[in-house]
């Protein structure tokens, strides 16, 4: 028998989420819970109230007459509680200065992003809220509890943005690498194919939106059906990987923990899009530009400092090996462009990116391990965020070196370079471009 509970505001929020989404599963994703946990919570709420609040059918969950009555009283309470918390926070910020509320999914970029924001805004009370669930961050933004958040969306599972939120893409197609034990049979390979991990168990976080579904889809496409271990605790997951009990996906900027290695996956079967989402009107365009710059530079520094990810990008032509001084040039640091857009940035002594008409940087292509005959030409990954790849270079005899070009001619004659300026793209909730603004140097 389920234990009777005293109703709290979180229970009322759960009821409102089920009614708004029309599904216990969707409400669980929105609240950052698992579906079984929310189902159990709903039964306890119904036990405390003494009646059924939702009917469940093929079309989803619909409020009963009792459910409508409870919801009509629950919604004002939830709204008042949210307003109370926000007013208290605003008052606290008013006493100590301006307040900036950041949110993010977990990852190596968070600490460096926060450090840059603190350094740029020393007088601002900056807070950070970390969530595994991007959908939970979106709800906090929509509820005026965050100003801006860094979110990720697995390819094939786009994040729905409610009205009033804007998205700026940071990385359109970031690959997922795999973490495995240092003693794993394939740990010595520079790139690992999914079938080579057929006998391994995979760790998934049940609270991470669509992570499990994206992994299952990729494994199924490879003809695999391994056991999935649901682990929420990061330290426990790392220990299981180091012991050889399981493998798990990780971001390409992640450094291996003790006893583990991180390797790219052959063909890049799993990718994600990283975006900065903000609430319309919460911050000025200039402030959003600066926050985008902070996180973009933080990400690029991590990407360049990670040997495995840097080699992966160089093999695909996304970046070119550059001297250290190119990365230390003032104002340099954002190599990403929106689809089909290549914005050159010329720092003193730094070559301009290749910007010949009709040619743009391609999104990361599949991972191809080295072989006796070199790297075979990969095929484009079947991901929705992939961009067209450039044609491979011909094997004709090299031409004579061109005459020195004037600075005005560099944009069309210089070799590709790592550094591009990222455009700030404002999108509607449906993904339609509304405004293109390029960040200043």
Given a cut of 80, whether residue 77 has pLDDT beyond it is yes
Given a cut of 90, whether residue 94 has pLDDT beyond it is no
Given a cut of 70, whether residue 323 has pLDDT beyond it is no
258-296 tens-digit pLDDT: 999 999 999 999 999 999 999 888 888 999 999 999 999
Show the tokens assigned to 149. 């958040």
Has this prediction a pTM greater than 0.75? no
Say what the pLDDT of residue 123 is.
84
Query: Quick one: CA torsion of 436, 289, 150, 384, rounded to 10 degrees?
Result: 20
Separation between Cα atoms, residue 65 and residue 283, nearest integer Å: 42
Band the pLDDT of 321: cuts 50, 70, 90.
Answer: low
Band the pLDDT of 335: cuts 50, 70, 90.
Answer: very low
Rg (CA), the chain: 24
For residues 238-262, give the mean pLDDT. Answer: 95
Separation between Cα atoms, residue 310 and residue 319, nearest integer Å: 8
Show the tokens assigned to 211. 């992570």
Separation between Cα atoms, residue 355 and residue 280, nearest integer Å: 33
**Residue 361 three-state SS:** coil
Give the chain's domains with CATH numbers.
9-76 (1.10.10.10), 177-269 (3.40.190.10)
For residues 175-193, give the mean pLDDT. Answer: 95
Q: Which of 248, 244, 99 is nearest to 177 (CA)?
A: 248
For residues 14-33, give the mean pLDDT. Answer: 87
Phi, psi (deg, nearest 5) at residue 180: -145, 165
Say what the pLDDT of residue 319 is.
62
Residue 22, judged by CB atoms within 10 A of its CB (0-12, 13-18, 19+), counts as middle
Residue pair 440/341 in contact (Cβ under 8 Å)? The answer is no
Given a cut of 60, whether residue 62 has pLDDT beyond it is yes
Strands (DSSP E) along 280-345, which ranges? none
Average pLDDT, the chain: 76
Given a cut of 80, whether residue 113 has pLDDT beyond it is yes
Given a cut of 50, whether residue 30 has pLDDT beyond it is yes
For residues 420-438, give the mean pLDDT. Answer: 42
CA distances from 363 to 178, 296, 381, 390 (A): 20, 16, 10, 10
Given a cut of 60, whether residue 2 has pLDDT beyond it is no
Tell me which of 219-228, 241-250, 289-298, 378-387 is least confident.
Answer: 378-387
pLDDT above 70 covers a percentage of the chain that reads 68
Tell me which of 144-148, 196-200, 270-274, 430-434 is least confident.
Answer: 430-434
pLDDT above 90 covers a percentage of the chain that reads 45
388-426 tens-digit pLDDT: 444 444 444 444 454 444 433 333 333 333 333 344 444
Say what the pLDDT of residue 233 is.
86
Q: Which of 35, 38, 40, 36 is nearest to 3 (CA)?
A: 40
Band the pLDDT of 441: cuts 50, 70, 90.
Answer: very low
Residue pair 304/296 in contact (Cβ under 8 Å)? The answer is no
For residues 146-157, give the mean pLDDT. Answer: 94
CB neighbour list of residue 393: distance below 8 Å, 6 or more residues apart: none
Show the tokens assigned to 45. 């709420």
Residue in the structure block whose two tokens are 């450090």: 115
Phi, psi (deg, nearest 5) at residue 106: -70, 155
């Amino acid at each position: 028998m389920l234990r009777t509970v005293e109703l709290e505001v979180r229970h009322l929020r759960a009821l409102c989420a089920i009614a708004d989404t029309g599904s216990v599963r969707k409400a669980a994703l929105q609240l950052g819970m698992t579906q079984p946990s929310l189902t159990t919570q709903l039964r306890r709420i119904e036990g405390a109230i003494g009646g059924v609040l939702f009917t469940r059918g093929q079309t989803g969950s619909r409020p009963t007459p009792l459910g409508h009555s409870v919801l009509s009283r629950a919604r004002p309470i939830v709204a008042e509680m949210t307003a109370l918390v926000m007013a208290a926070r605003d008052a606290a910020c008013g006493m100590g200065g301006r307040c900036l509320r950041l949110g993010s999914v977990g990852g190596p970029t968070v600490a460096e992003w926060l450090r840059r924001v603190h350094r740029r805004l020393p007088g601002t009370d900056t807070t950070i809220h970390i969530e595994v669930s991007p959908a939970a961050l979106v709800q906090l933004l929509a509820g005026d509890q965050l100003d801006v958040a860094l979110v990720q969306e697995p390819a094939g599972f786009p994040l729905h943005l409610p009205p009033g939120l804007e998205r700026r893409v940071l990385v359109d197609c970031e690959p997922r690498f795999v973490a495995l034990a240092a003693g794993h049979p394939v740990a010595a390979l520079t790139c690992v194919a999914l079938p080579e991990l057929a006998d391994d168990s995979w760790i998934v976080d049940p609270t991470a939106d669509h992570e499990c579904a994206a992994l299952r889809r990729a494994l199924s496409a490879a003809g695999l059906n391994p056991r999935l271990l649901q682990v929420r605790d990061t330290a426990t997951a790392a220990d299981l990987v180091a012991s050889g009990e399981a493998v798990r996906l990780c971001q390409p900027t992640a450094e291996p923990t003790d006893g583990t290695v991180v390797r790219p996956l052959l063909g890049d079967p799993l990718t994600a899009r990283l975006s900065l989402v903000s609430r319309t009107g919460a911050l000025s365009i200039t402030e959003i530009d600066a926050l985008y710059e902070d996180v973009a530079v933080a990400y690029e520094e991590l990407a360049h400092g990670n040997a495995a990810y840097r080699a992966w990008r160089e093999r695909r032509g996304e970046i070119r090996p550059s001297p250290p001084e190119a990365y230390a040039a003032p104002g340099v640091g954002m190599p990403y462009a929106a689809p089909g857009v290549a914005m050159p940035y010329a720092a003193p002594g730094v070559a301009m990116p290749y910007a010949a008409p009709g040619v743009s940087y391609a999104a990361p292509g599949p991972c191809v391990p080295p072989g006796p005959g070199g790297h075979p030409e990969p095929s484009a990954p079947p991901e929705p965020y992939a961009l067209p790849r450039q044609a491979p270079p011909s094997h004709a005899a090299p031409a004579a070196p061109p005459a020195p070009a004037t600075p005005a001619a560099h944009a069309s004659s210089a070799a590709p370079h790592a550094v591009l300026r990222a455009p700030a793209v404002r999108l509607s909730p449906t993904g339609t471009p509304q405004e293109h603004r390029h960040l200043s140097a």
